């Protein structure tokens, strides 16, 4: 579980642990790492935007055989209208949401169990085919880009892993806000159910939390 200090990633850890799974999960700060340990997970320090952190992941996971990998880490910086992002906003968003997965996920190649599932938490806001709003265009661009990253991994790892991009729904987290549609419990329980039912035919798909397809 990559990015599990809070929000949807944290809920994935809680539910998989409650189901008796062994879980390895990452957080950036000591408090997040302690919380993960208290849940019975193996906790690893990882800032996905930090090249050194990403590059030590492969040896930290040496010998592992991961059945499910979920990349949850992400940021949403709201940018008004069609205002160009500042360099800082652009870099912070693209480093966490795009460069992070491009650095971290290849490190996991040798740590996957045969037929493993890789799920990247993208967003419907990254869909180009299904788009009907232009709000937060920087975030949208980052999620469209990570969709491309996931699609490439699905081709590179075909036969080795089933790779999907998920829209988790609009979820009540710090990012989604209290007025969102879904609790983290419901979103994650839906996605766990979908993950359990995935077959090789699903490799490279963009799915809603309930398993219905979303246009790229």
Ligand X SMILES: NC(=O)c1ccc[n+]([C@@H]2O[C@H](COP(=O)([O-])OP(=O)(O)OC[C@H]3O[C@@H](n4cnc5c(N)ncnc54)[C@H](OP(=O)(O)O)[C@@H]3O)[C@@H](O)[C@H]2O)c1
Considering beta carbons, is residue 165 or 198 the nearer one to ligand X? Answer: 165
Please, which residues have CB within 8 angstroms of residue 30's CB and are 6 or more apart in sequence? none
The runs of H, that is alpha helices, within the chain are 7-18, 30-38, 51-60, 87-94, 100-104, 137-156, 184-197
Using the contact rule CB under 6 A, the part of the chain among 154-162, 169-177, 191-199, 203-211 near ligand X is 169-177
Q: Please select the residue that binds ligand X; options are 39, 45, 102, 180, rule is CB under 6 A.
A: 180
CA-to-CA separations, 30 to 13, 45, 86, 120, in angstroms, rounded: 17, 8, 30, 24
CA dist 79 and 98 (Å) reads 18
- 24 φ, ψ to 5°? -110, 130
Give the sheet arrangement for strand 161-167, strand by strand. Answer: 66-71, 112-121, 161-167, 205-208
Nearest Cα residue to 157 out of 69, 59, 62, 60:
69
> What is the nearest approach in angstroms of ligand X to the Cβ of residue 56?
14
The one among 112, 121, 141, 145 contacting ligand X by CB under 6 A: 121
Distance of alpha carbon 182 from alpha carbon 81, whole angstroms = 26
Q: Is residue 154 near ligand X by the rule CB under 6 A? A: no
Q: How far is the CB of 114 from ligand X (least distance, A)?
A: 27
Nearer to ligand X, 60 or 113 (CB): 60
* Minimum CB distance to ligand X, residue 159 (Å): 27
Cβ 192 to ligand X, closest distance in Å? 15
Q: Is 176 in the site for ligand X (CB under 6 A)?
A: yes
Compose the 75-114 pattern: x for residues touching ligand X by CB under 6 A, - for all others.
xx-------------------x---x--------------
Gap between the Cα atoms of 174 and 178, Å rounded: 8
123 touches ligand X by CB under 6 A:
yes
Q: Which 16-55 positions form the footprint of ligand X (CB under 6 A)?
A: 28-29, 32, 46-49
Binding site for ligand X (CB under 6 A): 3, 5-9, 28-29, 32, 46-49, 72-76, 96, 100, 121, 123, 167-168, 170-171, 173-176, 180
């Amino acid at each position: 579980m990559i990015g599990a200090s809070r929000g949807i990633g944290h809920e994935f850890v809680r539910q998989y642990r409650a189901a008796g799974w062994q879980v390895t999960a990452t957080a950036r700060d000591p408090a997040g790492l302690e919380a993960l340990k208290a849940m019975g997970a193996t906790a690893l320090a990882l800032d996905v935007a930090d090249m050194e952190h990403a590059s030590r992941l492969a040896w930290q996971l040496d010998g592992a055989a991961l059945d499910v990998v979920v990349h949850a880490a992400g940021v949403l910086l709201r940018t008004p209208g069609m205002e160009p992002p500042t360099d800082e906003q652009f870099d912070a968003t693209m480093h966490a949401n795009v460069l992070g997965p491009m650095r971290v996920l290849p490190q996991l190649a040798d740590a996957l169990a045969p037929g493993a599932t890789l799920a990247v938490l993208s967003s419907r806001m990254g869909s180009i085919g299904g788009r009907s709003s232009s709000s937060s265009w920087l975030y949208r661009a980052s999620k469209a880009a990570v969709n491309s990253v996931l699609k490439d991994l699905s081709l590179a790892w075909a036969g080795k892993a089933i790779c999907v991009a998920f829209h988790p729904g609009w979820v009540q987290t710090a990012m989604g806000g209290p007025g969102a549609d879904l609790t983290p419990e419901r979103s994650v329980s839906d996605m766990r159910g979908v993950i359990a039912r995935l077959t090789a035919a699903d490799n490279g798909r963009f799915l809603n939390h309930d398993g219905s397809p979303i246009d790229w």
